[in-house]
A = this chain, B = another copy of it.
Amino acid sequence: MITRIESTQNPRVKQWKKLQTKKERNKTGLFLIEGLHLIEEALKYKAYVKELIVREGTEYSLLDARDIDIFEVTEDIMNTISDTETPQGIAAVCGMKGPTPINIATAKLLLIDNVQDPGNLGTMIRTADAVGMDAVILGEGCVDLYNGKVIRSTQGSLFHIPIMDGNLDVWIKRLNVIGVPVFGTALEGARNFKEIEPHKHFALLVGNEGNGVDPKLLKLTDENLYIPIYGQAESLNVSIATGILLYHLRG
C-alpha cells in the first residue's frame, strides 16, 4: 500500500524525525536507514523492515518488499527526517534485532570499549564482518549502533553479523573460563602483535580513540598487543589498528 504524505507536520513524519535520537530508538526498538544499498541489505538479511519512505520522483526497484507499507513524501519531508546533508531518495524504518545466541567457545569476537566516533565504530563493524568475526560486543561508552553515521559506515554489515551491547568485564571473564584467548591492545606492557600466531578462536579487545582500552579490562586479558609505530605518528586510528590486528590474528 502506498500512502502519500505532504506535510512535515504529519504525525508520522514527526515520529520518523524522532528516530534521530537514541532515546526514541530505544523506546520504540526502531531505527531509520537511508539509501537503496542499505535497504537491500536489510531485506536480503531478513531484518524487520516496517516502512519504506520514498521521495516523490525517486525510481527504485526492490525485491521482497511486497508486504511493506510505502510512504511517498515530498523533498521537504525527506530533508526533515534525514540526518545527512544530501539525503538519498529512499529510506526505511527498521526494527532492532534481539540478542543472537552464539557459541562463544568456538567464536571469534571483537570487543569494543568506549569507541565514540560513529565513523570508527561503523568501519570496525564492517571490518569485523569482512574478516569473518562471529560477533561484535559493544561495551560501555560506545556510540549508539543505530546512529545514522554508524549505520552508513557499516555499509550494511550491521545486518550481517550479531552485534550486542554487553558488559566487557563479564564477557572477558566468561571467555577466560572457557579458555578462549582474549587479546587486549595497549601501548605499554604489551607484545608486538607480529609475535602472535594466528588463532582459530579468539577475542580482540580494542578501545577509546584517545585513551585506549580501560586499564581494568586490560588486566583481565590473556595478553595485550601493540602495533609498532615506525614513523612520527603518535598512534594509529582505532579502526585501522583493529583491521591490522584482526587480519593478523585470523591468519
Instruction: Give Cα distance in the complex from A150 to B156, angstroms.
Output: 25
* Chain B residues near A233 (CB-CB < 8 A): 126-127, 129-130, 155-157, 160
**A binding-site residues for B, Cβ under 8 Å:** 45, 119, 123, 126-133, 153, 155-157, 160-161, 227, 229-237, 239-241, 243-244, 247-248, 250
Partner of A250, one of B156, B160, B230: B230
Q: Provided the pairs A119-B119, A243-B240 are in contact, do residues A230 and B127 lie with their beta carbons within 8 angstroms? A: no
Contact B230 A132 (CB under 8 A): yes
Q: Work out how many copies of this chain go into the complex.
A: 2
Q: Provided the pairs A236-B243, A243-B243, A244-B247 are in contact, do residues A231 and B129 lie with their beta carbons within 8 angstroms? A: yes
Contact A232 B155 (CB under 8 A): no
Partner of A130, one of B130, B155, B236: B236
Instruction: Give Cα distance in the complex from A244 to B230, angstroms.
Output: 15
* Chain B residues near A127 (CB-CB < 8 A): 233, 236-237, 240
Q: Can you offer 17 A-B residue contacts whose CB atoms are under 8 A?
A: A45-B232, A123-B237, A126-B236, A127-B236, A127-B237, A131-B231, A132-B230, A132-B231, A133-B231, A153-B237, A155-B235, A157-B233, A160-B233, A161-B232, A236-B243, A237-B239, A244-B247
